Amino acid sequence: MVKNLLVIAGVLGVLGILRTASAEASDPETVDALKSKTAIVLANFGTTVPSGVQAIVNIQEEVKKAFPGIPVKITFTSNIVRSVWRERQAESAAWLNQGIPAEVIYVKNIIATLGDLMEEGYRNVIVQPTHMFFMEQSHDLAAYVRALAGIRTMKAKWQPFDRVVMGRPALGMPGDRYSYHEDMAKALKTLAPDVDLARKKGAMLVYMGHGNEHWSTGIYGEAQKKMREMYPDVVTFIGAVEGFPGVEDVARGLSHFDGGKIVLKPFMIVAGDHAVNDMAGDEEDSWKTILNRQGFKVEPVLAGLGSNDEFARIFVSHIRDAARDNGIPLK
């Protein structure tokens, strides 16, 4: 009899535990705690130009709206940009008064950012680059992500993370999982307002990308071709500050046109130092000056693509893809 009572008591105790666990699982605070295991890191090249920060913040706000309750952190992949903000920390109050977020003033590299998340108990992290395409910065970022994701401790529970994964840049990346041609088409579709502006002014549309000297920048040639196919009534050129096609190549293409108007915009996430100086500056070697000398009336527009809400939501889509592909819950 005593034995039977003990068995019944044990069963009731287990049921009580199960009911408690079920109640806790449905409790809003517990649900939020479970959601907090996942974090998102937006890996931006970065900018030192205060007005350019708005594009970065805009992307962050779009991601936050899409994934409420999940922290969305910012890191800069450019060592030079981070070093400038590190020096500016001595006058942080002045920058805060200009509307610069503290997260930018005290921006950290990807390792430190992930380290903070690990200390705070986040187990899954989606690192989303806000780069234009998979070039040098994205390559190096992917190396960091692979290294951290590959840490295997003797006891699994001491691994720093369960999963650390990386999403695709705006125009996609090499690989057969997602077609970069399709990613490019989706991104260029969001540039319709730029085309509308050029059309309204009866102007050609010229973009200045960043590019680099170490990787092929043929992506710009393909994007230019696609823009002309999508918007055949507006002549579009896309060049790069570094690598091919440079401003000389763009100017050579424009030499077939007898003057006219040009809307000049950065083919970059932010209108940073390159846009302010190399593109729209008054120096002899700026794109504006070179094209003015060629007989064109140039109207620079200092707005990065990250300021375009529809373009910013490209990164929301890429985060969702990375989460789904790796079994990471986002809600």
Would you list the domain boundaries of the chain? 28-176+309-325, 191-305
CA distance 217 to 211: 6
User: 264 near 287, Cβ under 8 Å?
Assistant: yes
**pLDDT, position 241:** 94
Q: Are 272 and 288 in contact (CB under 8 A)?
A: no
Query: Half-sphere exposure (CA, 13 Å, Cβ side) for 69?
Result: 13
Quick check: bond before 245 cis, omega within 30?
yes
Q: Is 246 exposed, middle or buried (0-12, 13-18, 19+ CB in 10 A)?
A: middle
CA 165 remoteness from chain centre: 14
What H or E segment, with its residue span, contains residue 211?
none
Give the helix ranges, DSSP H, for 76-191. Answer: 79-88, 92-97, 102-105, 110-119, 136-149, 180-189
Q: What is the pLDDT along the chain (331 residues), one digit of tens a residue?
A: 444 544 444 444 433 433 433 333 344 443 444 444 999 999 999 999 999 999 999 999 999 999 999 999 999 999 999 999 999 999 999 999 999 999 999 999 999 999 999 999 999 999 999 999 998 899 999 999 999 999 999 998 899 999 999 999 999 998 889 999 999 999 999 999 999 999 999 999 999 999 888 777 789 999 999 999 999 999 999 999 998 999 999 999 999 998 899 999 999 999 999 999 999 999 999 999 999 999 999 999 999 999 999 999 999 999 999 999 999 999 7
Dist. CA 236–CA 227, nearest whole Å? 7
Token code pair at residue 318: 């890429």
| Helices 309-325 & 180-189 angle (0-180, nearest 10) | 150
Topology of the domain covering 28-176+309-325: Rossmann fold (3.40.50)
Q: Edge-to-edge strand order for the sheet containing 72-76?
A: 72-76, 38-44, 124-129, 163-166
d(CA 292, CA 27): 64
208, 241 contact by CB (below 8 A) = yes
Please provide the CATH number assigned to the domain covering 191-305.
3.40.50.1400
| pLDDT attached to residue 195 | 98
Query: Please, how many CA atoms are within 13 Å of residue 49, restricted to the half-sphere of its CB?
Result: 18
What's the pLDDT score for residue 22? Answer: 38
Count of CB atoms situated within 10 Å of the CB of 165:
20
* Residues 6+ away with beta carbon under 8 Å from 151: 159, 160, 161
Q: What is the DSSP letter of 314?
A: H
Phi, psi at residue 230, to the nearest 5°? -75, -35
pTM: 0.86
Look at residue 184 in the predicted model and tell me its pLDDT: 96
DSSP letters along 172-187, please?
Answer: --SSSSS-HHHHHHHH
